[in-house]
Homo-oligomer: A and B are copies of this chain.
Amino acid sequence: MTKIAAVQSCDSCPIRYSAVCARCDADELAQLEQIKYYRTFDVGHMICWAGDEMPFVASVVKGAATLSQTMEDGRTQMVGLLLSSDFIGRPGRTTSPYDVTAVSEVTLCCFRRKPFEGMMMSTPHIGERLLDMTLDELDAAREWMLILGRKTAREKIASLLAIVARREMSIGLVKQSGAVMVELPLTREAMADYLGLTLETVSRQISALKREGIIVLQGKRRIEVPDMQRLLEETGDDVDGGVVA
């Protein structure tokens, strides 16, 4: 279901300093307020189908969405995982080449395309911020390519957990060492689409990691990592190379 949510002020916005508007001053923010509106999508609903017209670009305020590509025969590959403050859409292009799906309840801060593109011309802060965010996404995509191309199923699962844990740690509130709690917003099938595996293999590898005590399940979607270092060793990444005495 799609809902138009009540407009709230940018001042109290949780992603005020991390989204595409992060560097805008009060004046520029006021202009953005003019062209923005909120929309909410329930879990499982499509925000956009591949090839569809997208009348807006948007920031993810709350929740999680995915970008994915599907082949004729049904094989699908997730190509983007969008969390709070991530940007949806591409200035200068009117259709999305990807399916965009809400994997949890998602709130978007939408900007009508034309006015937004106008603002990009007039206020450099937005384009600059968008460039930085896009470069970050490109780095993430490249890390993902290593996972898809060269890692084993076990390493893929460990890497996914490590990536989400890292993101949750950077948002704050969890200590670096000791037990870490990870909230996975993905079904087994979505994890499989992310990692280029089948859902059965995902399930088996998670079971194996559980059996070995590397992770502890608390329900299906909450995962406790008793020893982050041990999980990182399972990712196949160089983990102690950066240790300096």
Contact = CB atoms under 8 A, between A and B. Distances in A.
Interface of A: 67, 69, 71-73, 75-77, 79-80, 90, 92, 97-98, 124, 127-128, 130-132, 134-135, 137-139, 141-146, 148-150, 195-196, 236-238, 241
Stoichiometry, copies per complex: 2
Contacts of A142: 67, 69, 79-80, 98, 141
**Among all A-B residue pairs, the 8 with the closest Cβ atoms:** A149-B196, A79-B142, A148-B148, A141-B141, A77-B149, A77-B146, A148-B149, A75-B150
Given A97-B139, A134-B135, A145 B146 contact: no
Given A71-B237, A127-B124, A131-B134, A77 B141 contact: no
Contacts of A238: 71-72
A134 B135 CA distance: 7
A80 B149 CA distance: 13
A90 B138 CA distance: 11
Contacts of A236: 71-73, 75
A145 B141 contact: yes
A229 to B, nearest CB: 16
A223 B89 CA distance: 37
A105 to B, nearest CB: 25
Contacts of A90: 135
B139 A138 contact: no
Contacts of A127: 124, 127-128, 131
Contacts of A80: 142
A154 to B, nearest CB: 14
Nearest to A146: B77
From A72, A98, A124, A142, residue with most partner B Cβ within 10 Å: A142
A172 B197 CA distance: 38
